[in-house]
Amino acid sequence: MQKKPYLRDWLIQVLYTAWCQFMNNELQNHAAATAFYFLLSAAPMALLVSYASQVLAHIAETSNLAVILLAAFYDQFHLDRLMAAGFIPDSVRVSAGGVGLLTLILSSRGLVNAVHSAFRVIFPDGARRRLVASWLLPLVIIPAVFSLVVLAFLAQGALTFLAEFDLLGGYRSTLLKSASTLLSLAAIWGLVFAAYWRLPLRSPGIRPAMLLAGLCTLTLAALFTGFDRFFHIEQYRNLYGALGGVVFILIGSYFACLAFYFWAQCLHALTKVDVAALENLVLGSRANGNRLDALVFGRADRLLAKFGHRFAAGDALIREGDDGQEAFYLYSGQVELFKSTTGGPHKLGEMETGELFGEMAYLLKEKRSASVIAKTETVALVLPPTMLEELMRFSAPLSRRIVATLSQRLRRMNQASAG
């Protein structure tokens, strides 16, 4: 078949598959749990940030660099707004910093476990993490991420501070503002990419992980920009009183977690969109009564471009005794089955459009047991063993269809041989 780009169909099918999996996996509930644990971690984080600002303030008495860093610290973490909202006190003692660190370590375990739980649903795999890793990772990952975020925000804030006060000149200030924005996006992208690439037990490809991490980063940037413009913490404080700030952070983190998990689900859907399209083609999009499935997967052009092969009448799709393990889906035309006997080829039967065949060699790990010859001009999808394995693994209805078809074919072959 002639190969043609079907980028639009592929993109629509990926997004639709990701959305269906997102809803079926109830990731909105996982997002709510993650946002809750993030809120538990946010309080000790705020205490540590406040304590760090006091250390910088003490150093700033004798250091100009510390003055710049302190100004960046206040600007990036909005310490004035946090203090005004009552999240952190005006002064934090050393003991409070120790309590915050202990609370941060304990709450980080719940946060990381919530993310792990969601990723086990998004990227299903039978393997399990080692016990030591599952206990140690939550204890170190959040403090480590927190330290990296602080360093990145400090660097970004320092650049912004220099740019706003024109300490380096006009055009250089513009460059610094652009660099500070890019630095913030790069920090977020790096964290998201690390999560997408390393948290799944079976790591996805590095390029798709980089791409989806970029899309997630842009979504988060747009979300934070829109949230800051259209929602204000004062509105929630007027409505909920002292809890208004908590509600504000909880809602914002919930939407951020939704975006984070949706693009993670898209990353998984990239590798499963062909499975979903083939399942709808073989079983019929209208079989489950879902008209939207029929609309999205109704056209087989993309699958034909990727897997389709055309055979003239008399061509052999499968030859008896070959080692091939590809499976075939008969998209159009008719084929005949023949088996060698002492008296010559013996016809076992025919197959019509819509039948799946050739899977026996892969399932039994044996040579081809019969020849399949095109009776008319035929178009068939040739599915490699890896795709057949994916279909068997991720599509229970299709697996039942394959087992039922295989049983019927074996019964027909036994009847034909007995006759």
Domain boundaries, the chain: 7-276, 307-418
Mean pLDDT of 211-223: 94
CA–CA distance, 181 with 161 (Å, rounded to integer): 12
The per-residue pLDDT of the chain, averaged, comes to: 76
CA–CA distance, 322 with 325 (Å, rounded to integer): 9
The residue with greater pLDDT, 407 or 316, is 316
- Which pLDDT value is given to residue 116? 84
pLDDT tens readout for residues 233-281: 666 666 666 666 677 778 888 999 999 999 999 999 998 898 888 888 8
Q: Are 29 and 124 in contact (CB under 8 A)?
A: no
Phi-psi region of 344 (alpha: psi -120 to 50; beta: other; left: phi over 0): left
CATH of span 307-418: 2.60.120.10
CA–CA distance, 399 with 260 (Å, rounded to integer): 32
Mean pLDDT of 44-73: 60
The residue with greater pLDDT, 313 or 300, is 313
Identity (one letter) of the amino acid at 286? Answer: R
- Which pLDDT value is given to residue 124? 83
Mean pLDDT of 3-11: 76
- Which pLDDT value is given to residue 2? 46
What distance, in Å, lies between the first and last C-alpha atoms of the chain?
39
- Which pLDDT value is given to residue 118? 92
Mean pLDDT of 39-58: 64
Read off the pLDDT band of 364 (50, 70, 90). Answer: confident
Residue 147, CB-side half-sphere exposure with 13 Å CA sphere? 5
Read off the pLDDT band of 85 (50, 70, 90). Answer: low
Residue 249: which residues within 8 A CB-CB, separation 6 or more?
39, 42
CA–CA distance, 279 with 1 (Å, rounded to integer): 21
CA distances from 278 to 64, 250, 262, 273, 378 (A): 64, 40, 23, 9, 18
Identity (one letter) of the amino acid at 284? Answer: G
Mean pLDDT of 336-353: 85
